[in-house]
Amino acid sequence: MKKFVYNFKEGNKDMKSLLGGKGANLAEMTNIGLNVPPGFTVTTEACIQYDEEGKTLWPQLLDEIFEKLAQLEDETGKTFGHGENPLLVSVRSGSVFSMPGMMDTILNLGLNDETVISLIKKSGNERFAYDSYRRFIQMFSDVAMGVSKSNFEHELEKMKHEKGCENDTDLDASDLKLLVERYKEIYKRELKTDFPQDTKEQLKLSLKAVFDSWNNPRAVIYRNLNEISHKLGTAVNIQSMVFGNMGDRSGTGVAFTRNPATGENKVFGEFLMNAQGEDVVAGIRTPLSIDELESIMPAVYNQFMKTTQILENHYRDMQDIEFTIEDEILYLLQTRTGKRTAKAAVNIAVDLVEEGKITKLESVGRIDPHMLEQLLHPSFDEKEVKNHELLAKGLPASPGAASGQIYFTADSAVEAKEKGISVILVRQETSPEDIAGMINSEGILTARGGMTSHAAVVARGMGKCCVAGCQDIRIDEHAKTMKVKDMVLTEGDVISLDGSTGGVYLGSIPKASTSLIENFEVFMQYVNDFKTMKVRANADNARDARKAIELGAEGIGLCRTEHMFFDEERILNVRKMIVAETLEEREAALKLLLPYQKQDFIEIYEVMKELPVTIRLLDPPLHEFLPNTDEDIKEVADSIGKTFDHLKDVVERLHEFNPMLGHRGCRLAVTYPEIYKMQVRAIIAAAIDMKKENIDVNPEIMIPLICAKSELVYIKTFLIEEINSVFEETGETVEYTIGTMIEVPRAAITADEIAEEAEFFSFGTNDLTQMGFGFSRDDSGKFLDDYTKKGILDYSPFETLDIAGIGKMVKMACTLGRETNPGIKLGICGEHGGDPKSIAFCQSVGLDYVSCSPFRVPIARLAAAQAAIDDGTVRDK
C-alpha cells in the first residue's frame, strides 16, 4: 500500500519531490541532530490524489495521519484536543520548488475553549495562551474557511485604539481574551455556525485548505511566471508548535547565512521578540537586526551562529533559515537554499569556490543565466540624483532603479501598465495577492516590512527594484494618497526609487549605464573555462561593438547594414537609391553612400581588431525605407529633381502587401546588383585600410534570404568580380569568406546544395520561424498570446526556438551542409541566439557560435557553458 505520511525521522533532503522542499529539509535537519520540533509530512502524492478523489480526504489517508498524530503525542508527551498538556501543531504547505508566501499556513491548531485553559495552566501565561488562540481563529477562518482576515485585523486595530496602544504586544491577557470572543462572533456572523471545537475537524479542514491552496490564483500566477509545473502538488507539514510569543525570552526570526542582497559572508537576519513567524514575514512590526540578539540572549545568539555554519556547510550553499526561540531554547523551523540578487549570486558563487566549498563547475551550474540580466540593469545617473528631492528613505530591499507613476492597488497597477504607463506600485505592505501588480510595475514601494518581507523577497526574485519599510510615508489606499513630509502625492504622480540605497525621490531620474561587480569578471572566467561554443554579438556600429567586447563577445555574428542607413542624412540617399529608375540614378546615389559605408566598417574593424566580423549585405524591408508621407516624398522629389506626382507614383508601384516577404534581401540584389557591389567594395576597401595599419581583418560577407544554390552562385559571381577589381585598383588583397544566412525553409531543405557554394551558414531563425510557422514577425503578437494561453504552444517561438519544428530544420540543414562541406562554419544570429533554452539546442546540433544583442552576451556565455556541462562535452577541471 502506498505510504502517504512520513515522520521527519523517515525522510531526507533528497526526497523533495515527495516531501516538498520544506518537509525534506525538516527531515534532513532532524537527522543531522538539529533541534527541530517533531512532526510529520503528508506527501505531494497525497495532494495529487486528493484532487483525483474530487477534493476529499479518503479514509486510508486519514488513518495514516491520525496514527502519526498519536505517535507525535507519545513523542511530545502532549495530547491533541484535550488534557492538561495540549498538543498544538502548525499546518504548513511545502512544495517541491519554493513558492514564498504563495500558499497557506495555519499555526496554533489544536486550541479550543478547553485546551486554551490547559495552556494557561501549563504555561502560567494567560496572555500568551489567548494571543495564540486569537491568532489561530484568524488564520483558520481566513485560510480554511475563507473569512477575510481584514475582519479580524479591523477588530484588532479597534482594540488597540480603545486601549490607546500602538503595538499588539501592548495588549494584555484580558484584552486578548475579549478579542477571542469578538473573533468567535465574527466567525459565527460570517459562517452562521460556531467556531469548531473538535480539533480533529480543525485539522481535516486545514489540511484540505492547504491542499486547495496549491491551485489558488496567486500560486498559479507564480508558477506560470517561474515555469513550475502545475502537476507537482504540495506536501503538508504537521509539526508540534513551539512558541515565539511566550514572552520576553521568546521570539522568532528569519536569517540568511550570507547577505542575500550583496553576497557578503556575514549572517543577515531579522527577528522579533514575543512574536510568531507570520509577524516577521508580513512586516507587522519592524524587526530587529540579528546582531541585536547578541546582547539580548548571548548564548542563543552563539548557538544560532554555529547552526548557520553547520547548515551552510552541510548544504554547501547559502541558506535561508526560519527559527523560533521559546523560553531561550532555539528551534529550527525551516532551511532552504536562499533566494538572492544576481549580485549576491555571483559573489557567493565565487566566494564558495575560493573557500574550497564548491568546484568551479558547480558554481557555473548554480546561476540561472536570466539572472545576469539583473546585473546589467541600469542605476540612476548620480549627477541627476542630486537634482531631485529625496522624499524619504526606506530599506534597500531589491536593487535597481525605477521611475514611474504611483498606483496604490495591484489592479490599478495592471490597468495602468496595459495603457503603457510605467508604474510604481505603492502599498502599505504587499501580500501574495499583489503578485500581478508587482509583475506589472517597474518598482515597488512599501511603508512597512523588513528586508525579508514579502515585497522584498518577491521583488528580489523578480529582479525588480523595491524599497520596503519606508516609515516616513503615510499611505491611504482608499483615498489613493501618499503623504510624505508636507506633501500629498496622488495616483499618477511620478516618483523614482533607488533599490540599492532605499531612496525615494520626486520626479523621474535618468539612468546611467551599469557598472559590473568585480567578481563578475572572475565568474565569467569560470564560464569561459567550460563553454565550447563561441559567443558573438549582433552589432551594427562601433558603440554596440564596444559594449559587446566589454561583455565578452568573441566577434560580431551579424552586422545589419540596413541599420547603418537610418540616420537622417543617409536615409535620403538610400531612398534616392530605392526609387531610382535608371542605373545611372541608382549608381549616383550609391556613390554618395559608399564613403559612409566604408567609414562605418573601419570604425567597427577598429574596435573588433582581428576578431571575426560577419557583415550582412543589405536586407531592407522596403516599407521601412520608402518615403511614406507626402512631405517625405516631396523632399526626395525635390532633391532628385523629379515632380511630386511622378515620385508618388513610383512609391505606389513599389508598395508591397507583405513587405517581410517582399523585394528584400538578396532578391533586391538580383534585380539591382550594384547595391551589393557598393557594399562589398566598402567592406573590402575598409579591410585594406586596416591592413595598412597592420590589423588583419578577414571579413565574413553574408548574403541574406538565399533560397537556392543558383541564386547564391549568381550573386557570388558579381561580388567576387567587384572584390577583385578593388584588389586590382589598390594593388592589395585581404582574406575574406562568403557565406549565407539560412532563413528560408527551402534553403534549410537544400542546405547540401547551398553548402557547396557557402563557406558558412548563419541561421536567421527570426525569418525561419516566420516562414516555418507562417506567422508574421510583425503581427503575430496579436494572436500568439491566445496560443500560449490555450496551451497550443508552450511559449512564443519568436523568443525560444521551436525545437520540434524550426529546430528540426536547423538540425537538418547542419547535417546536410556538413555532408557536402565538412568544414563549413555554423552559427545562429536570430533572436534565439541569446535565449538560454535555444542555446542548449544550438550546442546539441554542434553550432560553432551563437550571436545575440550585446547585453545578452553574458547570458549567452553562461548558457553555453551550462549546455556544454549538461551534455557532457566538458567535465570538471
Q: Which residues are annotated as catalytic?
A: 454, 829
Cβ atoms within 10 Å of 364's Cβ, excluding its own = 25
Residues near Mg ion (CB under 5 A), total: 3
Distance in Å, CB of 191 to ligand PEP, minimum: 59
Comparing CA positions, the residue from 574, 623, 618, 571 lying closest to residue 776 is: 623
Distance in Å, CB of 43 to ligand PEP, minimum: 47
Say if CB 97 and CB 277 are below 8 A apart.
Answer: no
Comparing CA positions, the residue from 605, 625, 624 lying closest to residue 613 is: 605
Please provide residue 503's backbone torsions phi and psi, each rounded to the nearest 5 degrees: -75, 140
829 binds, among ligand PEP, Mg ion, none (CB under 5 to 8 A by kind): ligand PEP
3-state SS, one letter per residue, for 656-686: CCCHHHCCCCHHHHHHCHHHHHHHHHHHHHH
All three cell numbers of 82: 484535550
All three cell numbers of 307: 547552526
The verdict on 767 binding Mg ion (CB under 5 A) reads: yes
279 binds, among ligand PEP, Mg ion, none (CB under 5 to 8 A by kind): none
**Identity of the residue, 426 or 548, whose beta carbon is nearer to ligand PEP in the bound complex:** 548
Q: Locate cell 523568443: which residue? A: 799
Binding part of the chain for Mg ion, among 147-155, 446-454, 684-692, 743-751 by CB under 5 A, reads 743-751
830 binds, among Mg ion, ligand PEP, none (CB under 5 to 8 A by kind): ligand PEP
Say if CB 270 and CB 261 are below 8 A apart.
Answer: no
Distance in Å, CB of 656 to Mg ion, minimum: 16
Distance in Å, CB of 765 to Mg ion, minimum: 9
765 binds, among Mg ion, ligand PEP, none (CB under 5 to 8 A by kind): ligand PEP
Decide the pairing of beta strands 89-95 and 39-42.
unpaired
385 binds, among ligand PEP, Mg ion, none (CB under 5 to 8 A by kind): none
Q: Is 738 helix (H, G, I), strand (E, B) or coil?
A: strand
**Identity of the residue, 674 or 831, whose beta carbon is nearer to ligand PEP in the bound complex:** 831
Binding part of the chain for Mg ion, among 95-103, 118-126, 722-730, 738-746 by CB under 5 A, reads 738-746
Distance in Å, CB of 742 to ligand PEP, minimum: 9
Binding part of the chain for Mg ion, among 194-202, 392-400, 685-693, 740-748 by CB under 5 A, reads 740-748
397 binds, among ligand PEP, Mg ion, none (CB under 5 to 8 A by kind): none
**Identity of the residue, 597 or 765, whose beta carbon is nearer to ligand PEP in the bound complex:** 765
Binding part of the chain for Mg ion, among 232-240, 470-478, 643-651, 756-764 by CB under 5 A, reads 756-764
Distance in Å, CB of 776 to Mg ion, minimum: 13
3-state SS, one letter per residue, for 3-50: CCEEEHHHCCCCCHHHHHHHHHHHHHHHHCCCCCCCEEEECHHHHHHH
Distance CA 730, CA 639 (A): 33
The verdict on 540 binding Mg ion (CB under 5 A) reads: no
DSSP label of 9: G
Q: Which of 86, 233, 287, 764 binds Mg ion (CB under 5 A)?
A: 764
All three cell numbers of 171: 495588549
All three cell numbers of 131: 494571543
Say if CB 405 and CB 416 are below 8 A apart.
Answer: yes
Distance in Å, CB of 535 to ligand PEP, minimum: 16
**Identity of the residue, 240 or 765, whose beta carbon is nearer to Mg ion in the bound complex:** 765
Q: Is 354 helix (H, G, I), strand (E, B) or coil?
A: helix
800 binds, among ligand PEP, Mg ion, none (CB under 5 to 8 A by kind): none
Kindly identify the residues of this chain, within the stretch 432-491, that bind Mg ion according to CB under 5 A: none
H-only helix segments in 140-276? 149-163, 173-191, 199-213, 217-225
Distance CA 281, CA 449 (A): 7
Cβ atoms within 10 Å of 73's Cβ, excluding its own = 17
**Identity of the residue, 35 or 766, whose beta carbon is nearer to ligand PEP in the bound complex:** 766
Distance in Å, CB of 850 to Mg ion, minimum: 16
**Identity of the residue, 439 or 829, whose beta carbon is nearer to ligand PEP in the bound complex:** 829
All three cell numbers of 9: 525521522
560 binds, among Mg ion, ligand PEP, none (CB under 5 to 8 A by kind): ligand PEP
**Identity of the residue, 779 or 870, whose beta carbon is nearer to ligand PEP in the bound complex:** 779
**Identity of the residue, 237 or 765, whose beta carbon is nearer to ligand PEP in the bound complex:** 765
What DSSP assignment string belongs to 507-560?
Answer: S--PEEPP---HHHHHHHHHHHHH--SEEEEE-SSHHHHHHHHHTT--SEEEEE
**Identity of the residue, 173 or 661, whose beta carbon is nearer to Mg ion in the bound complex:** 661
Question: How many alpha carbons lie under 13 Å from residue 107 in its C-beta half-sphere?
Answer: 17
Containing 495, the helix (H) or strand (E) segment is strand 494-498
Distance in Å, CB of 803 to ligand PEP, minimum: 16
Q: Mask: binding to Mg ion, 690-729, rule CB under 5 A, as x and -?
A: ----------------------------------------
Binding part of the chain for Mg ion, among 217-225, 585-593, 753-761, 763-771 by CB under 5 A, reads 763-771
Distance in Å, CB of 662 to ligand PEP, minimum: 12
Distance CA 323, CA 267 (A): 14
What is the dihedral angle through the alpha carbons of 180, 184, 189, 191, rounded to the nearest 10 degrees? 140
The verdict on 743 binding Mg ion (CB under 5 A) reads: yes
**Identity of the residue, 726 or 810, whose beta carbon is nearer to Mg ion in the bound complex:** 810
Please provide residue 329's backbone torsions phi and psi, each rounded to the nearest 5 degrees: -110, 130
Say if CB 41 and CB 8 are below 8 A apart.
Answer: yes
Distance CA 498, CA 340 (A): 18
Decide the pairing of beta strands 268-273 and 534-538.
unpaired
**Identity of the residue, 168 or 767, whose beta carbon is nearer to Mg ion in the bound complex:** 767
Say if CB 407 and CB 423 are below 8 A apart.
Answer: yes
Distance in Å, CB of 764 to Mg ion, minimum: 4
Distance in Å, CB of 675 to ligand PEP, minimum: 16
DSSP-assigned beta bridge partners for residue 473: 484
Binding part of the chain for Mg ion, among 24-32, 721-729, 765-773, 810-818 by CB under 5 A, reads 765-773
The verdict on 244 binding Mg ion (CB under 5 A) reads: no
Q: Locate cell 551534455: which residue? A: 871
Q: Is 783 helix (H, G, I), strand (E, B) or coil?
A: helix
Say if CB 455 and CB 526 are below 8 A apart.
Answer: no
**Identity of the residue, 326 or 831, whose beta carbon is nearer to ligand PEP in the bound complex:** 831
Contact residues for ligand PEP, defined by CB under 6 A = 558, 560, 619, 743, 764-767, 829-830
How would you label 348-361 residue by residue, b for 16+ Cβ within 10 Å and e otherwise?
bbbbbbeeeebebb
Q: Is 41 helix (H, G, I), strand (E, B) or coil?
A: strand
Binding part of the chain for Mg ion, among 32-40, 393-401, 510-518, 758-766 by CB under 5 A, reads 758-766
Distance CA 855, CA 595 (A): 30
Residues that bind Mg ion (CB under 5 A): 743, 764, 767
